Amino acid sequence: MKYTVITGASSGIGYESALAFASRGKNLILVARRQEELDGLKLKINEMHPELDVVIRRTDLSVTENVYKLYESLQTFQIETWINNAGFGNFASIAEQNLNKIETMLHVNIEALTILSSLFVRDYSMTEGTQLINVSSGGGYTIVANAVTYCATKFYVSAFTEGLSHELKEQGAKLQAKVVTTQL
Protein backbone atom coordinates (compact mmCIF):
# COMPACT_ATOMS: atom_id res chain seq x y z
CA MET A 1 0.00 0.00 0.00
CA LYS A 2 1.44 3.37 -1.04
CA TYR A 3 1.15 6.62 0.92
CA THR A 4 1.43 10.36 0.45
CA VAL A 5 3.00 12.25 3.37
CA ILE A 6 1.90 15.85 3.90
CA THR A 7 3.54 18.02 6.56
CA GLY A 8 1.65 21.06 7.78
CA ALA A 9 -1.58 19.21 7.01
CA SER A 10 -3.80 20.76 9.68
CA SER A 11 -4.67 23.94 7.75
CA GLY A 12 -4.25 25.93 4.56
CA ILE A 13 -2.41 24.40 1.63
CA GLY A 14 -1.61 21.21 3.54
CA TYR A 15 -5.25 20.66 4.46
CA GLU A 16 -6.43 21.29 0.91
CA SER A 17 -3.65 19.09 -0.49
CA ALA A 18 -4.80 16.25 1.75
CA LEU A 19 -8.35 16.55 0.41
CA ALA A 20 -7.07 16.71 -3.18
CA PHE A 21 -4.82 13.66 -2.83
CA ALA A 22 -7.62 11.75 -1.08
CA SER A 23 -9.95 12.54 -3.99
CA ARG A 24 -7.34 10.84 -6.21
CA GLY A 25 -7.49 7.71 -4.06
CA LYS A 26 -4.21 8.24 -2.21
CA ASN A 27 -3.62 6.85 1.28
CA LEU A 28 -2.32 9.62 3.50
CA ILE A 29 0.05 10.28 6.35
CA LEU A 30 -0.87 13.67 7.79
CA VAL A 31 1.68 15.54 9.89
CA ALA A 32 1.12 18.68 11.97
CA ARG A 33 1.31 20.03 15.51
CA ARG A 34 -2.42 20.36 16.17
CA GLN A 35 -4.02 17.03 17.04
CA GLU A 36 -7.61 18.28 17.01
CA GLU A 37 -7.32 19.64 13.46
CA LEU A 38 -5.61 16.45 12.27
CA ASP A 39 -8.37 14.34 13.82
CA GLY A 40 -11.02 16.49 12.13
CA LEU A 41 -9.30 16.19 8.76
CA LYS A 42 -8.96 12.43 9.12
CA LEU A 43 -12.66 12.14 9.97
CA LYS A 44 -13.64 14.26 6.97
CA ILE A 45 -11.49 12.20 4.60
CA ASN A 46 -12.73 8.91 6.05
CA GLU A 47 -16.35 10.04 5.58
CA MET A 48 -15.71 10.95 1.94
CA HIS A 49 -13.34 8.07 1.14
CA PRO A 50 -13.80 5.19 3.62
CA GLU A 51 -11.56 2.95 1.52
CA LEU A 52 -8.47 5.06 2.25
CA ASP A 53 -6.02 4.60 5.09
CA VAL A 54 -5.32 7.89 6.86
CA VAL A 55 -2.48 7.94 9.39
CA ILE A 56 -1.83 10.86 11.73
CA ARG A 57 1.52 11.93 13.16
CA ARG A 58 1.34 14.84 15.61
CA THR A 59 4.80 16.39 15.47
CA ASP A 60 6.44 19.76 16.08
CA LEU A 61 8.95 20.06 13.24
CA SER A 62 10.68 23.04 14.84
CA VAL A 63 12.50 20.54 17.08
CA THR A 64 15.26 18.76 15.15
CA GLU A 65 14.97 15.55 17.17
CA ASN A 66 11.26 15.34 16.24
CA VAL A 67 12.11 15.59 12.53
CA TYR A 68 14.29 12.49 12.70
CA LYS A 69 11.76 10.66 14.91
CA LEU A 70 8.99 11.40 12.43
CA TYR A 71 10.92 9.97 9.52
CA GLU A 72 11.97 6.93 11.52
CA SER A 73 8.34 6.30 12.54
CA LEU A 74 7.38 6.04 8.86
CA GLN A 75 9.93 3.40 7.85
CA THR A 76 7.29 0.65 7.62
CA PHE A 77 5.23 2.61 5.07
CA GLN A 78 5.81 2.62 1.33
CA ILE A 79 5.85 6.32 0.49
CA GLU A 80 5.03 7.45 -3.04
CA THR A 81 4.87 11.22 -2.53
CA TRP A 82 6.39 13.39 0.19
CA ILE A 83 5.08 16.95 0.49
CA ASN A 84 7.05 19.33 2.70
CA ASN A 85 4.40 21.97 3.29
CA ALA A 86 4.98 22.84 6.96
CA GLY A 87 6.17 26.39 7.35
CA PHE A 88 5.21 29.84 8.50
CA GLY A 89 6.15 33.47 8.17
CA ASN A 90 7.02 36.28 10.53
CA PHE A 91 6.22 39.69 9.15
CA ALA A 92 8.16 42.55 10.71
CA SER A 93 11.12 44.69 9.83
CA ILE A 94 14.50 43.11 10.53
CA ALA A 95 15.04 45.42 13.51
CA GLU A 96 11.66 44.52 15.01
CA GLN A 97 11.65 40.76 14.44
CA ASN A 98 10.90 38.47 17.33
CA LEU A 99 14.11 36.42 17.35
CA ASN A 100 12.47 33.40 18.98
CA LYS A 101 9.93 33.27 16.15
CA ILE A 102 12.71 33.72 13.60
CA GLU A 103 14.66 30.83 15.08
CA THR A 104 11.57 28.61 14.97
CA MET A 105 10.82 29.70 11.39
CA LEU A 106 14.36 28.80 10.30
CA HIS A 107 14.03 25.38 11.94
CA VAL A 108 10.73 24.61 10.21
CA ASN A 109 11.10 26.34 6.84
CA ILE A 110 14.71 25.32 6.19
CA GLU A 111 16.09 22.71 8.57
CA ALA A 112 13.13 20.31 8.76
CA LEU A 113 12.51 20.55 5.02
CA THR A 114 16.16 19.85 4.22
CA ILE A 115 16.45 16.90 6.60
CA LEU A 116 13.19 15.29 5.47
CA SER A 117 14.02 15.86 1.80
CA SER A 118 17.48 14.37 2.24
CA LEU A 119 16.19 11.30 4.06
CA PHE A 120 13.46 10.72 1.48
CA VAL A 121 15.91 11.09 -1.42
CA ARG A 122 18.34 8.71 0.28
CA ASP A 123 15.66 6.03 0.61
CA TYR A 124 13.54 6.56 -2.52
CA SER A 125 15.68 8.13 -5.27
CA MET A 126 15.66 4.94 -7.34
CA THR A 127 12.00 4.05 -6.72
CA GLU A 128 9.82 4.41 -9.80
CA GLY A 129 6.89 6.83 -9.50
CA THR A 130 8.08 8.69 -6.40
CA GLN A 131 8.06 12.43 -5.99
CA LEU A 132 9.17 15.03 -3.49
CA ILE A 133 7.20 18.28 -3.46
CA ASN A 134 8.53 21.23 -1.47
CA VAL A 135 6.18 24.16 -0.99
CA SER A 136 7.75 27.57 -1.48
CA SER A 137 6.11 30.95 -2.02
CA GLY A 138 6.11 33.92 -4.33
CA GLY A 139 8.38 35.23 -1.60
CA GLY A 140 10.89 32.64 -2.76
CA TYR A 141 11.53 34.67 -5.88
CA THR A 142 11.18 38.28 -4.69
CA ILE A 143 11.97 40.19 -1.50
CA VAL A 144 9.05 41.86 0.24
CA ALA A 145 9.45 44.63 2.80
CA ASN A 146 8.77 43.47 6.36
CA ALA A 147 9.08 39.85 5.22
CA VAL A 148 12.79 39.72 4.38
CA THR A 149 13.65 36.75 6.58
CA TYR A 150 10.57 34.80 5.51
CA CYS A 151 11.38 35.48 1.84
CA ALA A 152 14.96 34.36 2.44
CA THR A 153 13.72 31.02 3.80
CA LYS A 154 11.53 30.56 0.74
CA PHE A 155 14.41 31.53 -1.60
CA TYR A 156 16.26 28.66 0.09
CA VAL A 157 13.37 26.23 -0.47
CA SER A 158 13.16 27.16 -4.15
CA ALA A 159 16.93 27.01 -4.77
CA PHE A 160 17.38 23.79 -2.78
CA THR A 161 14.57 22.00 -4.57
CA GLU A 162 15.51 23.22 -8.05
CA GLY A 163 19.13 22.19 -7.41
CA LEU A 164 18.03 18.81 -6.09
CA SER A 165 15.88 18.28 -9.17
CA HIS A 166 18.89 18.88 -11.44
CA GLU A 167 21.08 16.62 -9.30
CA LEU A 168 18.55 13.78 -9.43
CA LYS A 169 18.22 14.07 -13.22
CA GLU A 170 22.00 13.97 -13.65
CA GLN A 171 22.16 10.83 -11.49
CA GLY A 172 19.41 9.11 -13.45
CA ALA A 173 17.21 8.91 -10.36
CA LYS A 174 13.59 7.89 -10.71
CA LEU A 175 12.37 10.22 -7.95
CA GLN A 176 11.33 13.68 -9.12
CA ALA A 177 11.82 16.76 -6.93
CA LYS A 178 9.43 19.64 -7.53
CA VAL A 179 8.92 23.05 -6.02
CA VAL A 180 5.40 24.48 -5.80
CA THR A 181 5.11 28.23 -5.44
CA THR A 182 2.17 29.86 -3.70
CA GLN A 183 1.15 33.49 -3.53
CA LEU A 184 2.78 35.49 -0.77
For residue 58, the model assigns a pLDDT of 98
Going by their DSSP bridges, the two strands 131-135 and 27-32 should be labelled as unpaired
pLDDT at 139 over 90: no
Distance (Å, whole) CA 83 – CA 118: 13
CATH at residue 82: 3.40.50.720
The predicted-structure confidence for 46-101, as pLDDT tens digits, reads as follows 999 999 999 999 999 999 999 999 999 999 999 999 999 999 998 999 999 999 99
Q: How far is CA 50 from CA 43, 134, 180, in A?
A: 9, 28, 29
Give the total number of structural domains in the chain. 1
The predicted-structure confidence for 140-184, as pLDDT tens digits, reads as follows 888 899 999 999 999 999 999 999 999 999 999 999 999 999 876
Q: What is the biggest distance separating any 2 CA atoms in the chain, rounded to whole angstroms? A: 52
For residue 184, the model assigns a pLDDT of 63
Residues in the chain: 184
For residue 182, the model assigns a pLDDT of 84
| Domain region containing 38 | 2-180
The predicted-structure confidence for 27-44, as pLDDT tens digits, reads as follows 999 999 999 999 999 999
Contact of 114 with 106, CB cutoff 8 Å: no
Name the pLDDT band for 110 (thresholds 50, 70, 90).
Answer: very high
For residue 140, the model assigns a pLDDT of 84
Name the pLDDT band for 15 (thresholds 50, 70, 90).
Answer: very high
